[in-house]
Amino acid sequence: MDKREEVLLISGVDVLKCMRCGKCSATCPSYDEMEYHPHQFVYMVETGNIEPLLSSESLYKCLSCFACVERCPRGVEPAKVVEAVRLSAIRQKGANHLKAENVPELIDDDTPQQLLMSAFRKYSK
C-alpha cells in the first residue's frame, strides 16, 4: 500500500471534497507553530506529496482541538488527516516522538495525568 492510500484509509477522509478555501488554517490555533498548515495537509495528501509531511514538526503541533473539523464548510475533517499522517510516521519502529525517559524533566508537581496520557497517545506507539 502506498503512503497516500494508507493515510486515506487511516483517516477515512475524502480529501477530494476540499475546495481549498483555507478556513481550516485560518482558524487553527497552532498556525504560527506549523510549517505545513491544515489545508496543506489535505492538499498534499490529495496529490500524494506526503514525504515532507512525514518528517515535519507540524505533525506534533496539532492540538486536536477540532476547530478545523467544526469550521470546514465542506466537512473535510482536516484534523483526521493530520492524525493519520502522524500515525503513519510514529507507527514505524523507533519513530516515537516522545520517549518515557524524557518525561521527568518535562513535568512539574501539578502536571495532570490527562496531559501525560494525551501526549503519549499522540506522540508514541
- Interface with ligand SF4 (CB under 6 A): 18-24, 27-30, 38-39, 42, 62-68, 72, 74, 76, 78-79, 82
CB of 97 to ligand SF4, least distance (A): 15
Of the pair 10, 63, the CB lying nearest ligand SF4 is at 63
Which DSSP letter does residue 29 get? T
Question: CB burial class (10 A; 0-12, 13-18, 19+) of residue 86?
Answer: buried
- Tell me the HSE value of 68 on the side-chain side, using a 13 A CA sphere: 29
Between the CA of residue 58 and those of 2, 16, 17, 37, 53, what are the distances in Å? 21, 22, 23, 8, 8
Of the pair 4, 74, the CB lying nearest ligand SF4 is at 74
Binding site for other proteins (CB under 8 A): 9-12, 29-30, 32-33, 60-61, 63-67, 69-70, 79-80, 83-84, 87, 97-98, 103, 106-107, 110-119, 121-123
Of the pair 47, 102, the CB lying nearest other proteins is at 102
Cell representation of residue 90:
510514529
